[in-house]
Structure 1
């Protein structure tokens, strides 16, 4: 009964944590783009009338793709009507810069408040009820993820006309508006920005800079070692990551569990020594990685799969603190029952330092700028001093173990402390999941659920009354469940083999070549399931080569009139749908597969309809 009661508590806490994670992620996108309208009068003879301006402002540290967007991305579009007539929108050029996710491609971005221009004729606002109605569409991207936006917008331009209007020609953006009008098809804009980017890449300025705080600029090894030690020490007082607080508590209480004073001091000293060793080992390892691969400080946290892996480890630690199961090596419990207290302290130190890595950046700017350009041995030495600085309080406690006397003796408060630390770790999981790309959020949460299931099996299906073989067989099965779930849920997206659907191109190919046509959309869950199981890139390439078939995909994520007409012609109103068009006269009789189907069914359909 006690285990059942514990399991119910655990699943309640787990569900609350997962719901909180989803809510926290959505809150970040609650108001992705701010917008407001303004109306100006235009006194230019050829452009007389009014000019409605929609100001769009992306959320902080995000950008919209311009119109044109550049080499990648979806363009920002404003579709508006007035009195039932569609009005033309003029788009200013965006800022030319490398794309965040594909640095080899150039985009034109709207990063700050940007005007979108809608010119109006004088007679169009005679009615005070005249209202501009439309939709703002685009692709909003942060440094970690992108999301499509589709926002309604409305402006009572007729009422605004009655106010005292400013002259458009006197505004600082007037030249930008005239330039936007001249870029009706966007080709001139792309050419202009490509030229600008080329000139920027050739830009080679030379300066002799002066620094505001020259005392913190590193010019030699001695100063680098001193600042590295100080920065490492300061890390202990800058808990910018929640787990660091929790793991520090674990380290300080490591020696507080023995009743006998001598054993208590010995355990306290041993725990701090091995905790410090874990810190030093991590910094030596990090020095090797950064110097050999040329990575920037903290850049490991830009790898989403590594972030998910760290999140999974922290999530497992939190489950162990709630008593669901016991980790074999890294165990943060204060019960003192660990079979390997030295290894526990060592790995706890490594984990604490891994999570504290981003905190070091603000204190190491000058040091890192100098040291990462030095030989590997110098890099390693400086990083060891960072580790010595961070571990210095723990080494001091190991040298003066009498500090252990100041810690309270074990009691019921230890259990409350463990659960509090567990809540800190769950909050950290919420934060880490919020920084991964949006496309990986659902797979990552599913992986956390698998870890919880495996932890429950590990801890609740085994007991010391079982034979060692049975107990470890069950635990091995739980671990295998986690290992098997990772490649299934975390499959990296391979290059898409599909060609984009174009109505004219499709009509030209029809009957001349075999065609495998797929209907998909970003919002279609079943489409994603097919992509992971049946329509994988390797299988598609195999089928395309075997039957010499053209692979074409109709994307229905946004409004696609031609795509919908083709879907309706195939007798369908929903997706996923795959249609197989043979070559020759039978091309007018395609074979259609609906909804979910297996690879064998797909192969059977291809063999029956495209056989040579």
Structure 2
């Protein structure tokens, strides 16, 4: 009995899951009041203690809870960084004010200093409800939408953003977060009733501020100018008291970015702060270009910017070259380890046809159609999601733990069927179990879909540049590239099914086929082991253990269904109940992020990738080799265990002081996706060698020792 009914029932569900944006790519930042990243938990809060009406106090606020050692920035970020920005969408008659910035702290970073926030901070914004506001007739809510952008930094800086939605009741009060807002109000500087003065003398800014409260007198104060690019933020400066007047002498910025006539300054002592507007006397030195963003940070931001430049290595490709590269890449894809299990399944079916020429030809056409149409569907979905703002690349479906778990279940059942544990005739109604006999064309078509679901994470030689070029092309031309890729992958099987000489190479059907079928079960189980390992990299050891337990329970249920009589009823019922209970308990572990993902390299030579880390090392005249990889990429693992573990290659890395960085794309990472796009690539593996004063060198997907050593020798 064939496994075709299983392909029909399971692979269609699996492909639907892989192609479902809501199933595989649901974003925390859409339609939610909270966004959680690895560095920040951002939440939109509201405070309307007297309801929503003209003249009533109504506040919104973005609360940022930082992981230890990470920080975001104040309105003047200091020597580097960018302030958080908020873009509101509100009903007519509702106006959002400016952020009421709490007092920041000075954050030293090397010989620089920034102004920002660590721990948890709330950025409150007042809403003005004008008489033009008309509450909705139904629902009685004020709909608030916010798009926020913030830069979060430790040693590296990562631009992040989120979209938030909130329904604020018009009637009644909203005061759940009153304590949060009160703490933010208390942290804001108070306006001083008196003014002071600021004078520019050479390269020094002299401040005099009278009228500070008695509690501040005699104390050392922190000074935060609201205008960026005026003072040398990290430089030592002098301050003192002349009676009740506070005085200070602060060095002007080396690269003066502003020459204001009025300088607002926040003065802080402990948890108290005051704001004063100082008129500036004297003559400013000639202003130079503002240096609010450091060169390294500027490069990191460019690398992570949403609008990428023309892909490197793709600009010189024509459409015809991209089509040819996709066709050849599809051909080579059949040799990738991730495709072998599906080809093994097809070999079993191929031997069944024997000398039936018509069955082989029809099956070959149907298989090719399934492959090409599946590539077109995946390509169209990827292009549509990228056009909608998603950062996706080739192989994106295996970035979803649910798709990985679904594939593991599918290949477990296929392996059990090939090994002879069960036959579909004993499990399913005769109409379903005889599906292949009645619909061989649909059986072959579904096999093509399954082949694409497994093969798509791989990137073969010639594929990378073509796919990277395709995502920047008009949709119609891009889909032609995906179709050529599918045609290349289906071509060997299509030719084999139509060339009569192929049939003469096949042994005649006989008892050997049963042995061959059982032998083919082991590539299926090897694929399951790989998929469990992939899920472990995504969801940690608990996720991998949960998947293993579910697969064992699934195997048990499958075996009980092969029994007969009352034994089948009792054991199958118990098995299904146990499987359901286990799924309810263990399934949440499948998609939970790994708490402490292990480093991709165990030898300590590699460090995590970031765009700013690359920029910093290159600026220090250190060559950088970046391995863009993923746990679900079999080609990546092959290269890692061969070329990248080669002693001669490692010796060359050490001799030339090459820094080794690894960009792990096992789970979705928009920064890595954008970096790949900037390099003209859309999937992994990608290997890049950076050196000061040189363009990045992108190496082959199947990385050879000779190629890598030659590239290193050219440094």
Q: Given the two structures, how large is their TM-score scaled by the length of structure 1?
A: 0.42
Q: Given the two structures, how large is their TM-score scaled by the length of structure 2?
A: 0.37
Greater RCO between the two (CA within 8 Å, min separation 6)?
2
Higher helix content, 1 or 2: 1
